[in-house]
Structure 1
Amino acid sequence: MPSPLQKRSLVDIALEQIHLRIDDGTWPLGQRLPPEPELAESLGISRNTVREAVRVLTFSGVLEVRQGDGTYVRACANPLDTMLVLARSSVEQALEARGIIEVEASRLAAERRSEADLAALREALEASAVHHGGVLDEYIAHDLAFHQRVVDSAHNPVLSELYRYFSQVIRAGLERTIGDPSRPQPSFELHRELVDAIARGDADAAAKANRALLI
């Protein structure tokens, strides 16, 4: 029976082989992996080792196991590595990336939002307004919840997941920008303008309002 060290080494090999196939496009984003017996045979590794590697990659967010359907590629990079890159980004870099996601999401939200989306947006906006000018941490939490609603109203699960994944970096950036009296602060009314533009389906106005919020 292999020792824990040997087993760990075999799992590492399995992880490396799966990552290589994802990276080289053999298994692209959204692809279903071969069944476990076939996967084990193609990797030349036991089914127990493959099962453990899949468990590790599922935990880290690279793979997704859908009961009764199979195992799918959920991310093309290890989210833990990605978070390290995001954590090292500057405020300016974070704002640029935030703008790319949010401005386009605002356009799409104006075109795709439902009445339920509008109700949720207005509810989130009022919750944010209550905390505006108050305790910074509480306002930032509600502000992020509002902007997540905007992104979700675009009805693009990729954008929603990206923004949710990026939220912790955005939070750190907001703590530095909102808490810095030397930086110009956008008017809270721009949030209302954004919601109004989305409500009337004006994609250009929605994008303009969101862009102005990212000064």
Structure 2
Amino acid sequence: MPLVTTTRTGLVDQVIAQMRELVASGEWPLGEKIPPETELVSALGVGRNTVREAVRALSHAGLLEVRQGDGTFVRATSELSGAVSRLCDTELRQVLEVRRALEVESARLAATARTENDVAELEVALRERDAAIDEGDPERVARTDSRLHLLLVEASHNPVLIQLYQGISEAVLSSVATTFDPTVPPERTVSHTELFEAVRDGCPEAAAAEAGGFLDELLAEFDERPGSARSAHSS
């Protein structure tokens, strides 16, 4: 999507709207640096102060992150996910707790609401996740595992639940990347086969139990880490 020259009314709002669309569309990918200020000034036909104010507003909203001496980077794809990821940057346990709350109910609903197309997409996503684990590629594992869980939530066909989960997508991706250990043999990594089968076979209670079970394991592992609040309390 090319940048277009703005009119003189509501310049900051227009620049914010264009930047937000570039982020949401993926033209400015998550984690990547956006064009430098001089390039934005030229492309938009506005002054430096207008660009700086727009960047400041989007940084405050959580979409962009200004790194002094390094540039400005895309931090989130929406204001909601930006706010959530900003709150959860160092709060892995809280992210896992929220994931558990949303994913357990999503699995329960998906077991009765899923369509044949949902099942087919889930099966492909599961194979891709397992292949990534076999390869021991942390980045690919994080991406494929997160996609599998998003598809499970989407199979619930509950639009409110789906929107809430999409809002924490960056936090989910981060939590998967943080908890995956490439030194653990693939056969000892948490399997989602039983979860998929419970959803496919229409077993809501089994699906909910599977969805909650692996997250309970992650929470227990987190609490046993040296330095965690619960570990310190128990000692």
Band of TM-score, shorter chain: 0.5 to 0.7
Which residue is equivalent to 1:84? 86
Which residue is equivalent to 1:199? 200
Which residue is equivalent to 2:141? 139
Q: Counterparts of 1:198 and 1:115 in 2: how far apart (Å)?
A: 11
Which residue is equivalent to 1:26? none
Which residue is equivalent to 2:115? 114
Task: Give unmatched runs, 5+ long, in structure 1.
Answer: 12-55, 61-77
Which residue is equivalent to 1:151? 153
Q: Does 1:172 align with 2:177?
A: no
Q: Are the aligned partners of 1:148 and 1:164 in contact in 2 as well (CA < 8 Å)? A: yes
Distance 1:116 1:176, change over 3 A: same
What is the percent sequence identity of the aligned residues?
29
Residue 132 of structure 1: SS of its match in structure 2? helix
Which residue is equivalent to 2:75? none
Measure how far apart 1:132 and its partner are: 0.9
Q: How does 1:15-34 map to 2 (within 5 A)?
A: none
The normalised TM-score by structure 1 is 0.58
Which residue is equivalent to 2:129? 128
Measure how far apart 1:82 and its partner are: 4.2
Give the greater-gyration-radius structure (CA): 1
The normalised TM-score by structure 2 is 0.53
Distance 1:81 1:124, change over 3 A: closer
Q: Does 1:105 align with 2:106?
A: yes
Residue 168 of structure 2: SS of its match in structure 1? helix
Task: Give unmatched runs, 5+ long, in structure 2.
Answer: 1-7, 14-56, 62-78, 218-235
Q: Counterparts of 2:206 and 2:83 in 1: how far apart (Å)?
A: 36
Q: Are the aligned partners of 1:186 and 1:213 in contact in 2 as well (CA < 8 Å)? A: no
Measure how far apart 1:167 and its partner are: 1.6
Distance 1:130 1:144, change over 3 A: same
